[in-house]
């Protein structure tokens, strides 16, 4: 079974950039093949990775519901949807990208989601690692559309309000009884370490801190240029920090 890393957090904290850096680290250390899943309705993981997308799972649901009643004789619904999912995969060197796309509309998607869950597991079996960039509400996790998660990194900015938001996400996970082995907190864009008040709030929220990621103007500059995450030099302090956190985490799990 693949080892699955999910990244969540409120908007604007840099979780998609961190998801891209996790994928980059896994590629750099030869942990392939990887399935990258963009599970945020505001999909832009492909931009961080520097790849173009044509189809999303959201659009596939519409196609399936519109076409499934008129399939040619001998074409089974399950085979048709499996083909469509494979069609949505963007294949790159060392990893593939699957974009979940927008949230569901007024139609009933129960059948499509049931088949999708089945074939997501089939697809997942082809990879050693899965990296999932989630929206703050963890919609695809709560709906069960995507598979179980080994590690969830909740990303926060270095503020008490941000850490409290991370705490609410952890509470949501517990209330929904989601299948997540371990939840960690990541503090992003840290300038001069964490002050005592913030450390106390992390303790109050009872979330284990996996590490901090420094603020870096080079990351911001590349983001403004819409450059892929691979444009950052390997010695960049953000690249190094994410790599060290991933290495430490994977050693704990012996992955």
Q: What is the pLDDT of residues 215-252, one digit of tens each?
A: 999 998 888 888 999 999 999 999 999 999 999 999 98
Average pLDDT of the residues in 24-53: 92
Give the whole-angstrom CA distance, residue 210 versus residue 244.
10
Q: Please give the angle made by the CA atoms of 89, 249 and 35, to the nearest 5 degrees.
A: 5
The token pair that represents 37 in the structure block: 């899943």
The token pair that represents 200 in the structure block: 């106390």
Highest mean pLDDT among 16-20, 77-81, 85-89, 106-110: 16-20
Average pLDDT of the residues in 168-188: 91
DSSP 8-state assignment for residue 146: S
113 pLDDT higher than 60: no
Q: Please give the angle made by the CA atoms of 220, 93 and 3, to the nearest 5 degrees.
A: 80
pLDDT for 109 equals 47
pLDDT for 102 equals 63
106 pLDDT higher than 80: no
How many residues are given for the chain? Answer: 255
Number of domains in the chain: 1
Average pLDDT of the residues in 144-165: 88
Q: For residue 16, what is the domain's CATH number?
A: 3.40.50.300
pLDDT for 111 equals 53
Q: Please give the angle made by the CA atoms of 140, 151 and 253, to the nearest 5 degrees.
A: 150
Residue span of the structural domain in which 225 resides? 3-253
Average pLDDT of the residues in 70-75: 69
């Amino acid at each position: 079974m693949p080892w699955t890393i999910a990244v969540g957090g409120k908007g604007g904290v840099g979780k998609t950039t961190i998801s891209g850096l996790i994928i980059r680290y896994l590629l750099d250390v030869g942990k392939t093949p990887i399935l990258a899943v963009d599970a945020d309705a505001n999909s832009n993981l492909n931009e961080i990775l520097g790849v173009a997308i044509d189809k999303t799972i959201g659009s596939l649901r519409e196609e399936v519901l519109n076409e499934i009643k008129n399939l040619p004789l001998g074409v089974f619904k399950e085979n048709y949807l499996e083909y469509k999912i494979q069609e949505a995969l963007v294949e790159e060197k060392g990893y593939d990208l699957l974009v979940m796309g927008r949230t569901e509309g007024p139609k009933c998607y129960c059948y499509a989601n049931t088949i999708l869950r089945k074939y997501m597991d089939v697809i997942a079996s082809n990879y050693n690692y899965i990296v999932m960039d989630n929206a703050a509400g963890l919609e695809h996790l709560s709906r069960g559309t995507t598979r179980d998660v080994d590690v969830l990194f909740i990303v926060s900015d270095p503020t008490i309000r941000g850490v409290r938001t991370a705490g609410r996400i952890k509470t949501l996970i517990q209330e929904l009884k989601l299948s997540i082995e371990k939840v960690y907190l990541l503090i992003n864009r840290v300038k001069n370490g964490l002050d005592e008040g913030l450390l106390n709030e992390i303790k109050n929220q009872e979330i284990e801190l996996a590490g901090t990621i420094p603020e870096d103007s080079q990351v911001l500059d590349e983001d403004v240029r819409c450059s892929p995450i691979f444009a950052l030099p390997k010695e960049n302090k953000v690249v190094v920090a994410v790599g060290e956190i991933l290495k430490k985490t994977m050693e704990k799990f012996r992955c």
